Structure formats: C-alpha cells, structure tokens
Amino acid sequence: MPTQLEHARDGTVTDAMQRVADRENRDPEFVREQVADGQVVIPANHHHDALDPMGIGRELATKVNANIGNSETTGGLDEELEKLHTAVHFGADTVMDLSTGDNLDEIRTANVDHSPVPVGTVPIYEAVTRVDDVVDITADLLLDVVEKQAEQGVDYMTLHAGVLAEHLPLTDGRTTGIVSRGGSILAQWMEEHGEQNPLFTHYDELCEILREHDVTISLGDGLRPGSLADASDDAQFAELDTLGDLTRRAWDHGVQVMVEGPGHVPMDEIRENVERQQEVCDGAPFYVLGPLVTDVAPGYDHITSSIGATEAARAGAAMLCYVTPKEHLGLPDAEDVREGMAAYRIAAHAGDVANDLPGARDWDDAVSEARYNFDWERQFDLSLDPERAQDYHDQTLPGDNYKDARFCSMCGVEFCSMRIDQDARAIENDDAETDASEDSESAGMTGLTGSTDLDTSAAAEVNLPPTGTHDDADLPEESPVDHSQASGDDD
Ligand code: SF4
C-alpha cells in the first residue's frame, strides 16, 4: 500500500489529506502538494484504525506533542491510558509513548488502539530493555524492534540516525555533554564498538520497513544542546547536516520525514536555528523541544521553554514538544501535564497569530469581546482552560450575581477601567444624540464594533475552542494520580 507521500506524488488526495484539509480549513489540493513536496507530514500508520488524521507542516497550524509512558517504577496499563486521556483532553495533537518499564507491547498497542492522535515512539528504548548492556544491541535487534512497532500501528518513530562517530569528538568541551537519551546510548555503543551508528549504516533497510506501514520518520537530534552554553555548536550543526542528507534519502524511499531540534537555545539564536534547519533539510517539518531560553528556572521550565517555543513557531517550526514544570527535576503528574499543555497551546497559538494564519486571531477577538461585554460565562467557555478561568474568578466573587457584574476583584467596582470606558461612551452617545437634535457636531468616542463569529472563522481546529480538538470520549477519565514522562531532554 503506498504511503501518503507516494499517493501525493501520484496526484491522489487521500481521505487523510481531505481530513487534514478540513481541519486546517485549506484546499485539499494545497495539502496534497505540501505532502508531495515533503513540507507536510501526515503520520498515519496503515494499522492505526482509531486515528483522526492530522498534518504537521510550516504552512499549517502549529502542533503540540505530549510525552507519555511508564518507567521502571511507575505506570500500569490503566494508568497509561489515563495519561493518554489527560494529554488529549488538554489539547495534545500527537503523543509519544516513551515507556521504558514493564508491559511495553501491551501498553503500546493499547495506546494505538485508543488514541485518536498519532502515536510516536523511540524504538531504541525498547532495544535497551531487551539486552543486559547497551553494548549488546545489534543492528538486527534494532530492525526487529522497528518492524514490530510498525506492525503494531505506531505512526512515527524517532531515529537518531544522524549521530555519527565522527561527530562525537565535537562534543568535547561542552558544558552538558550529550543530553539526548537516544544520542547518549548510541554514543556509548559507538565508543565501545569503534563502529558507526547502526541506525545510519542500516538506514535504507529501516526506510523500507517504515515505507511498508507508512510510518513517518522523526529524525532525532541526538547531539542537541542541553544548555545555553552548548547551543548552536559544531556538534549540533554537524548532525543537522547529516539529518538533511537522511531527509532526502527517506524521501527517495517514499517515506515521510520530520526533523527534531533543540533543546536549550538563547532567544536571539532561535530564528537562526529554525531557518538553518529549513534550509539544510529542504523544508521538512521542524519538531522542536522547547527550546528553553534560559537555564536558571528549574520548576518553571514550562515557561522558559514555551517562550522559546513561541519564537520557534513564529520562525517556522511546525510542531512543539511540550515541557512540564518538572523538567530536569522529576516525573510529572497530571497537574504538570495540564500546566505544560496550557503553556504549549499558548505558544503554538501565539505563533500562529503572529504568523497571520487564516482566522487564527478570531479566538482572541471573541474572548476580548466577551471580556469587554462582561459576559463572564462566555469568557470562561472560550478560555484555553475554562475550568481554571472560572475557578480563579470564583475564588473571590463566587456568587451567581457576579456572573454579569461589570467588574471583577482585580480592580474592583470603582476602578474597573472597562466599566468606566463603557460609561464614558454612553455619555458621549447621549451627548451626540442631544447635539444631533441641536444640529451641532460631536467629536467624542463612539461605540465599539467587535462581533466575531467563530462559527464562520477560517481558523484551523487547533486555533478554535475547545482546546482539545480530538474526541476523547472513549478514553478513561483522567485521574489525580496520573503520571507522565515528559522530559524534553529525554528522547
Ligand atoms: S475590574 Fe479590572 S480586571 Fe476586572 S473586568 Fe474590570 S478592568 Fe478587567
């Protein structure tokens, strides 16, 4: 069966492309052309029956990935499905199952069976669990794991095929060495064997397996910087050059491909990083981890990274991998997932507004109009996190009578500027009527005109409320005991 890329090259608009066009409010032919040119990927394994297809590309709305999965110490099947629900509920466009604990096959297949969003994995994690020592990993084992996961319906896989033996000395002198889990595993393997990265030497075989099932490659950046000090260094860009070559080789095989990026990058270097990836990789979608724009705020890295993610989205990144407040510190819980998803949905949307995507700002305008009109219920309903918005409002003014009050507790009734503005305009309007009856001119303020209709918006689904765009009805309810692996430095 052809891949989406092969269909697109043949001129065929598939059902998946049509669905992406509907969700993005774009012409199906535009989506087909973008897929054919490798500018958009539609991760959609032939075996993933529960999938609601989505697209990732610079010209589409910016997407957000959430990492889930168990570890050696946490995460049974039910708990993992709860994580999936939590991520989707709060708006994840894709999820990556980074499980490294028990029951990997059971959890992975359950995730695929239940997930309406594409499921990604990092196959080398499973390979590590199947040997006593990293040095025992073989190329055959890697191929075996990739083939099995492809048959299980995984939609995209991170392959750190661009970490080459000759790149490793370039990391000498770094402040934080190699922080990618996959990159560090492969570096150790290459050092022990004195051989080239098996994911690189067997790349064509891997591509053929992935083509058969239409698994999208997510080319991992195993040498990404783990600190501002290491950003944009020779090791990072040497690997990027290899990723450009591997992108074109995947396309030659008819395989869809996106490229992963940093990590930790000072604000003033983010645009350069995105533009360099786009040039080196011929416009293949860029999937970035943050990046964090400062290293000084452990406990707040969902904020430090969402600032960088916003800039990356603005510069052309296609998908953002969320970071939670627990980054660098511990395993996130459900509240951390919520905080991380909110931070990243904001980053993605802010990038789309700044890039003037069709209709992207309509949501902002609708919220602003509800706010000015003191339509509190509508403001809550349209909020990125309605529950949070109402909870914060009601902490000080809980009564129903405050739901149409012309103030909140922030400024109080006396100093509510929007109430004062409305009153001033009412005065001006009264004066204007009087002046008109006296045949004189009025130069005062007039009424406001905002009346955004979200039902007719040209915005993509992800830029319209509710925040979670996928149907999560068939998934277990989220639970306060939820846990999730969500480390930007860990794939
Ligand atoms: S009181 Fe202040 S914050 Fe509250 S609605 Fe009025 S202007 Fe806005």
How much is the pTM? Answer: 0.93
Reported as type and span, the H/E element at residue 249 is: helix 234-252
Is position 221 annotated in a ligand binding site?
yes
Verify whether ligand 1 is closer than 6 Å to residue 370 (CB atom).
Answer: no
Ligand 1 centroid to 427 CA: how many Å?
20
Report pLDDT for 432.
Answer: 64
Verify whether ligand 1 is closer than 6 Å to residue 417 (CB atom).
Answer: yes
Verify whether ligand 1 is closer than 6 Å to residue 411 (CB atom).
Answer: yes
Report pLDDT for 445.
Answer: 81
Taking the CB of residue 417, how many other CB atoms lie within 10 A of it?
Answer: 9
Ligand 1 centroid to 408 CA: how many Å?
5
For residue 343, the Cα-to-chain-centroid distance in whole angstroms is 11
**What are the residue ranges of CATH 3.20.20.540 in the chain?**
4-355
Report pLDDT for 79.
Answer: 84
Token pair for residue 69? Answer: 């999965």
Token pair for residue 157? Answer: 């896989």
Report pLDDT for 476.
Answer: 55
Verify whether ligand 1 is closer than 6 Å to residue 125 (CB atom).
Answer: no
Verify whether ligand 1 is closer than 6 Å to residue 410 (CB atom).
Answer: yes
Report pLDDT for 81.
Answer: 87
Verify whether ligand 1 is closer than 6 Å to residue 322 (CB atom).
Answer: no
Q: pLDDT tens across 101-114, in order?
A: 888 999 999 999 99
Q: Which amino acid is at 171?
A: T
Best residue for ligand 1 mutational test, from 376, 404, 416 (most atoms within 8 Å of Cβ): 416
Is position 411 annotated in a ligand binding site?
yes
Report pLDDT for 488.
Answer: 43
- What dihedral angle (degrees, nearest 10) is formed by the CA atoms of 136, 140, 142, 144? -130
Is position 408 annotated in a ligand binding site?
yes
CATH class of 4-355: alpha beta
Ligand 1 centroid to 420 CA: how many Å?
10
Is position 321 annotated in a ligand binding site?
no
Report pLDDT for 272.
Answer: 98
Nearest C-alpha neighbor of 200 from the set 283, 125, 139: 139
Residues in the chain, pLDDT under 70 = 74-75, 428-429, 431-443, 468-491
- Give every CB contact of residue 44 below 8 A, 6+ residues apart in sequence: 4, 16, 51, 53, 118, 155, 214
SS3 483: strand
Report pLDDT for 435.
Answer: 63
Verify whether ligand 1 is closer than 6 Å to residue 408 (CB atom).
Answer: yes
In this structure, what are the phi and psi dihedrals at residue 468, rounded to the nearest 5 degrees? -80, 120
Verify whether ligand 1 is closer than 6 Å to residue 405 (CB atom).
Answer: no
Best residue for ligand 1 mutational test, from 367, 403, 408, 409 (most atoms within 8 Å of Cβ): 408
Helix and strand numbers, DSSP H then E, in the chain: 19, 10
In this structure, what are the phi and psi dihedrals at residue 288, rounded to the nearest 5 degrees? -110, 150
Q: pLDDT tens across 352-384, in order?
A: 999 999 999 999 999 999 999 999 999 999 999
- Give every CB contact of residue 58 below 8 A, 6+ residues apart in sequence: 39, 278, 283, 285, 286, 316, 317, 318
Verify whether ligand 1 is closer than 6 Å to residue 323 (CB atom).
Answer: no
Strands (E), 305-383: 319-321
Three-class SS of 197-233 = CHHHHCHHHHHHHHHHHCCEEEECCCCCCCCHHHCCC
